Structure 1
Amino acid sequence: MNYKNILHVDDDSDDCELFMEALQEVSGALYTAIYNPVEALRKLIDKEIKPDVIFLDLNMPFMSGLEFLTEIKKNEIIKEIPVIIFSTSQFSDIIQEAKEYGAHDFISKPNNFNDLKEILSKYAHTL
């Protein structure tokens, strides 16, 4: 996988900052973080943003990651964008449910920066 335009939907700005820093060390991919899933969905539908892939947190206010994923898969304009769940949750039933909802992959958020860089280097367009 060699994504060049990454959207990260996560309500935790610290997680987004860490994600961006790790991505910049391993990739030249464009990066957009949106902290509100409702806003992200609107921007996707209105074609304000056109990512190659979406990294999606599950536990967010206003709209959960699974609700967001469900809405994406219902929309003809954006349903083909791969969605990678990027969450602290590691429960097998949640992973299975996310895949049933149409998630492309499921990644547990790593505990350290180097592991995050290694994960992102597998998905992002490398330098």
Structure 2
Amino acid sequence: MQEKIICFLIDDDDDDQEIFSLALNTIGTDITCITANDGIDALNRLNMDAGFVPDYIFLDLNMVRMNGRECLTEIKKLSRLNTTPVIIYSTSSQEKDITETRQLGAADYIVKPSSISILVQRLEQVLKKMK
């Protein structure tokens, strides 16, 4: 029996969290989505629970209390997460954002799509590629 895949979504938009969770549920029941409402909440969780090592981290860039770049920089300081891919999940499709986040250590970049079916396809591609 395959173990559950843990995806950690850091996004300050409730609707985006719900859509992302629905997309993962469409892909398979062996995927669990855990959410944090912003970078500070995410880092608190990651720093307080040393046993929490998600298989994938999906990170929004445009958040209020701590933006995605700052959060990514802090996540990359946690050695236990060295092998956990961090995938940017943002409305921005600017080449500058894609390039900068890759330089900071992001494994991939997903532009938030206009439909859940496109999101499902894109998430399937990322999950297969990162296995």
| TM norm. shorter chain > 0.5 | yes
Q: 1:5: which partner in 2? A: 6
RMSD value, Cα? 1.7
Letter in structure 2 aligned against 1:4: I
- Which of the numbers 29, 33, 36 marks the counterpart of 2:35? 33
Q: How does 1:109-124 map to 2 (within 5 A)?
A: 109-124=112-127
> One-letter code of the match for 1:90?
S
For structure 2, the residue ranges without an aligned partner over 5 or more in a row are none
Q: Matches of 1:19 and 1:57 in 2, distance apart?
A: 12
1:9 positional shift:
0.3
**Corresponding letter in the other structure for 1:78:** L
Count of residue pairs brought into register by the alignment: 123
Q: Distance in 1 between the 2:78 and 2:8 partners?
A: 17
Counterpart CA distance in 2 for 1:124 and 1:116 is 12
Structure 2 distance, partners of 1:22, 1:119, is 10
| Letter of the 1:32 counterpart | I
Rate the CA distance shift 1:83–1:4 in 2: closer, same or farther, 3 A: same
Return the alpha-carbon distance in structure 2 between the equivalents of residues 50 and 56 of structure 1. 15
- Report the CA distance between 1:120 and its aligned residue: 1.8
Residue type at the aligned position of 2:26: E
Which residue in 2 is equivalent to 1:43?
45
* Structure 1: gaps of 5 or more residues: none
Whole-Å separation in 2 of the counterparts to 1:121 and 1:96: 22
1:124 positional shift: 4.2
Report the Cα offset of residue 22 of structure 1: 1.3
Aligned to 1:77: 80
Give 2:55's aligned amino acid: D
Residue in 2 aligned with 1:23? Answer: 24
The corresponding residue for 2:109 is 106
Identity rate, percent: 38
TM-score (norm 2): 0.86
1:121 shift after superposition: 2.0
1:118 partner SS: helix
Structure 1 range deviating more: 54-63 or 24-33? 24-33
Secondary structure, aligned partner of 2:81:
coil
Alpha-carbon distance in 2 for matches of 1:78, 1:124: 17
